[in-house]
Amino acid sequence: MVQASTYRAGVVGLSGIGMKRPLPETGAVLRTPLPHSHVAAHTALLNTQLVAVCDIKSEMLQSFAQTWDDVFPHTRTYSDYREMIDKEDLDIIQVATPDNRHTDIVLYAANAGVKRILCEKPLATTVADCDRMLAACEANGALLSVDHTRRWLPIFHRARGAIRAGAIGRVMRIVAHLGGPRAMLFRNGTHLIDGILFFAESDPDWVFADLDEGFEDYYYYKGTGGRIPEEDPGGSGYVHFKNGVRAFVNASKGQTTARFLEVIGENGQIDIHSDSVILWTGPGKCETLAADSHSVEDIAAALDELIRIGEDGGELISSGHEAAKVVEIILGFLRSQELGNVRVDLPLPR
């Protein structure tokens, strides 16, 4: 029986990160790995009930039943998110659709009274849509969190904790690297740029950029959802923050696969990889900083935070306002390309 304190959740969008199920290793002592999808996140939480899922493709709904029927046998399926929201009295909605479909779903959910919204990144593909989403959530008292996943990973917090404690002195520069076929600004580039924001801890002031070859006339979002590399550019960019931090974005599909951040301070440097943090305090002087394991991480931690802050108050670690800064930087890069790779001041004109 579902307890009164259980939060009713629904997921919109079942492809990609929507519903993948982590498989246990045969005979593994530690059983199933931590979940890394919107549906799977509910297996790590005791106070949520996945009551409904939605996808416009019938084959994805069939796949959900085949993949999760043993865990979520009573979860209802919908092909229209509006019908799901109207019927299910949701406390939480998770928007895991292609990036160009986020806005209408978030707007409808907020206006319908859903108080906790977790949206995939990027928040939107225009600054106007970001503004509309933020305004609707604020007007309706809805919390909006965006799945820039690394903000819920222990390794990122270990690095920022060391920086805040003075391990490298004042932060001066951040260099962010991303390579491989998914090094697209609107795809994994959002994670990269959000990582810069996480460590810069300031608002972006101005940018300039130079996109990858073949995207010389890419001045606005032209993709169809973020899954086709040929529709989404990589690029090199520069971000000047109001607190003086300067960041360099090195994201290109034409270079070797890589993803890491270098945070450079007055007295040292911290290199942040997906599974390690290395602190440099001088030539040849380095140490690896360990991060503790936690009971929830990733998307499960994002949902847990939405519930906790909805109950007790506080600030979201990956709020819609923070995510809107990422979109503003990316679109600033495109504007810089359009104007001949020149400086573009932020915020952009509405």
pLDDT per residue over 156-185, tens digit each? 999 999 999 999 999 999 999 999 988 999
Phi-psi region of 252 (alpha: psi -120 to 50; beta: other; left: phi over 0): beta
- Dump strand ranges (E) for 213-336: 235-241, 246-252, 259-265, 269-272, 277-282, 285-289
Q: Is residue 314's pLDDT more than 50? A: yes
Is 146 a residue whose pLDDT tops 80? yes
Q: DSSP label at 180?
A: S
Cα–Cα distance measured from residue 291 to residue 146, given in angstroms and rounded to the nearest whole number: 23
Of 127-141, 165-179, 202-216, 285-299, least confident by mean pLDDT is 285-299
Q: Which helix (H) or strand (E) holds 206?
A: strand 204-211
Dihedral pair phi/psi, residue 326, rounded to 5°: -60, -50
What amino acid occupies position 13? G
Q: Tens digit of pLDDT for each residue in 34-52?
A: 889 999 999 999 999 999 9
* Statement: residue 3 has pLDDT above 60: no
| Tens of pLDDT, residues 217-263 | 999 999 988 888 889 999 999 999 999 999 999 999 888 888 899 99
- Where do the domains of the chain lie, and which CATH numbers do they carry? 7-149+297-318 (3.40.50.720), 151-294+326-345 (3.30.360.10)
What was the pLDDT predicted at 2?
Answer: 42
- Please tell me the distance from the alpha carbon of residue 208 to that of residue 167, in angstroms, as a whole number: 30
Q: Distance between CA 319 and CA 162 in Å, rounded?
A: 23
Answering whether pTM is above 0.85, one says yes
Radius of gyration of the chain measured on its C-alpha atoms: 20
175 bridge partner residues: 248, 262
What is d(CA 224, CA 51) in angstroms, rounded to the nearest whole number?
Answer: 29
Preceding omega of 122 cis (within 30 degrees of 0): yes
Average pLDDT estimate for 284-293:
91
